[in-house]
Structure 1
Amino acid sequence: MSLTITQHTTVTVPTQFVEAANGIRYAYRRFGDASGVPLVLLPRFRGDLDSWDPAILDTLADEREVILVNNRGVSSTSGTTPSTITEMARDLVAFLDALSLTEVDLLGFSLGGFVAQEIALIRPDVVRKLILAATGPQGGPNMHGWRADIRDAVRKDPPGPPELLYTFFKPTVTSQAAGAEYLGRFIARTEDRDIASTLQTRDAHYDAVCDWGIPDHSKLQRLQGILQPTFVCNGDADAMIPPSLSHLMGGLIPNAIVKIYPDAGHGFLFQHHAEFSADVNEFLNA
């Protein structure tokens, strides 16, 4: 166990860099209990090292090593962001190889959940367990792009607190209040924050979202190839990716469990951070 890893929290862990065989210099952070299988977190649309909730990361890091990473072309990682999920998955496999990680758990949030599914399919021997949060399957119904108000909000340059509250949290008093609390935690790190992602990343990510969501019933059969234990979860009012798709994935992935969190939207994990973190730790420890 390395003290240079375990002594840190989300707010204090330094950003590191590693160059992979594909020539990309990846920005990443790692901390927590390094005695077991590490948990690699794959972020949302336009997400970076600082997009995660410290309340979640610090709870997870109490029981395992947590690794955050920016994929190719995102924020402080070099290169140009690709516009397909398969390319993103292969780039992250190159990152895992660069750190000599031969077994990991994956937590993919939103677009990161698309990428996590693809990694589990193309490099199944590396992935021990899988958490798919607020995400959907390739070719699934009702996910070919986002409705206009959501699309305009998340593509704003840059998106600010009003856009995050509108797109990630349910329009109820309780959900919006939880969203405001998340925004306070979101800015807790004041030093060595990640740089903003570019418009090239924004456009490539949205192209990838649309490509992944082209309706194609035959693509759903790929989920039967995900044999890892899988925790599928979402909020009951996700305006970006319908929670019905969580049930669809739960029915097609052979060893999956599904949980839908109440009074919550796309950012359910931030709203229900204590419950979600406990659920993830229990699932990974089982």
Structure 2
Amino acid sequence: MASSTTYLHAETSTAEGANGARYAYRRLGSTGGRPLVLLQHFRGNLDNWDHALIDPLAESRDVITFDNVGVGATTGRTPSTIAQMADDAIVFIEALGLDRIDLLGFSIGSFVAQEVALTRAALVTKLVLASTAPQGAPGMHGWAPDIIAAVGEPETGAEGVLHAFYTDSAASQAAGQQSLSRIFGGRTEGRDTPTGWQTRNAQYDSVLKWGTPDFGLLQRLAAIEQPVFVANGDDDRMILPWYSHLTASLIPDAFVKLYPDSAHGFLFQHAQEFAADVHKFLDA
């Protein structure tokens, strides 16, 4: 069950999946209502969620973060397709005994969230897609050279994250530095296992497959009937904001919000506002 602790002090638990994987996860917040399950970004683990976002999300709902197969402390090998990642996410949700959830996916996690909603529609009530793009969209076959160089090297440093996740403005860079300080300087004990090179390669392979142009695949999103909130920064250089509009245009019940002077990490830069928007959407 969830608890009232903060994300900074949330314990890491494990759940045994029917696929043989032992999933690492954290759960906090209110025990009432539908749980909100979060799907993480490229190479991210449990510790890469900013508690400035997680804590306000958990003020009035049950919030669950987890490492998918092969990521961080979860056992197994990371698959190289979004479809398999979605299947593995469903196994984790089943392992917790959940039958109705809300789902928030960030970056590559938003691709997985789309696939979960398409694969197991009855499981998902509402969907939040942060920094997203639809499968088969043009121009998504890999990221710009400066972006993959910033976040795709064996060791990703603060400078690379600030370049890929934040704009060049002084305000956005300062917000990024504050977020990194919270993420890497907050929890001192019980930190998650860093993601490995196998995960990096498998996840980027999955991004390339997802982004291979195929206009026929765009129509798949018409099958998502749940209400969907699509969000991004207005200057995201990793997944361009126009993909948010494209995604929303393909889903029958979706709307878009772009956050000012922000990029891929908008949800950490504008954590309080985004959390309030998520609550408003999920409670409506």
Same fold, judged at TM 0.5 (above): yes
Aligned pair partner of 1:74 in 62, 71, 75: 71
Deviation larger for 152-161 or 28-37? 152-161
Tell me which amino acid in the other structure corresponds to 2:190: D
- Which of 196, 218, 221 is the equivalent residue of 1:220? 218
Aligned counterpart, 2:237: 239
Counterparts in 2 of 1:19-34, with a 5 A limit?
A: 19-34=16-31
Q: Tell me, yes or no, if the aligned pair for 1:142 and 1:242 is still in contact at 8 Å.
A: no
Answer yes or no: is the 8 Å Cα contact 1:236–1:265 preserved in 2. yes
Cα RMSD between the aligned structures? Answer: 0.8
Gaps of 5+ in 2: none
- Identify the residue that residue 259 of structure 1 maps to in structure 2: 257
Match of 1:11, SS state, is helix
Equivalents in 1 of 2:259, 2:199: separation in Å? 30
Match of 1:84 in 2: 81
Cα distance in structure 2, aligned partners of 1:183 and 1:92: 27
Q: TM-score normalised to the size of structure 2? A: 0.98
In structure 1, what is the Cα distance between the partners aligned to 2:100 and 2:131?
Answer: 24
Contact 2:150–2:156 (CA<8 Å) still a contact in 1?
yes
For residues 277 and 182 of structure 1, the distance between their equivalents in structure 2, rounded to whole angstroms, comes to: 15
Aligned to 1:15: 12
Aligned-pair CA distance for 1:158: 1.8
Q: Show CA shifts across 1:258-281 (max 9, x none).
A: 001111111111111111011001
* Alignment deviations for residues 2-35 of structure 1 (CA, whole Å, 9 cap, x no partner): 5xx3231101110001111111100001110010
CA contact (8 A) 2:9 2:187 kept: yes
Find the aligned partners of 1:228 and 1:81 in 2 and give their Cα distance.
Answer: 28
Residue deviations 1:51-80, cap 9 Å, x none?
111011000100100000100000100000
Give structure 1 stretches of 5+ with no counterpart.
Answer: none
- In 1, the alpha carbon distance for the partners of 2:234 and 2:23 equals 35
What code does the residue aligned with 1:167 have?
A: A
Percent of aligned positions that are identical: 54
Deviation at 1:147, TM superposition (A): 1.1
What is the alpha-carbon distance in structure 1 between the residues aligned to residue 224 and residue 233 of structure 2? 23
DSSP 3-state at the match of 2:222:
helix
Deviation sequence 1:119-145 (CA, Å, 0-9, x none): 000000000000000011000121110
Aligned length: 283
- The Cα of 1:236 is off from its aligned counterpart by 0.8
TM-score normalised by the chain length of structure 1: 0.98
Residue by residue over 1:209-236, the C-alpha shift from the partner in whole angstroms, topping out at 9 and shown as x without a partner, is 0000001111000010111100001011
Deviation string, structure 1 residues 176-197 (Cα, Å, up to 9, x no partner): 1111111121121111010101
Give me the whole-angstrom Cα distance separating, in 1, the residues matched to 2:252 and 2:191: 39
Aligned to 1:130: 127
Task: Detail structure 1 runs of 4+ shifted over 3 Å in the superposition.
Answer: none
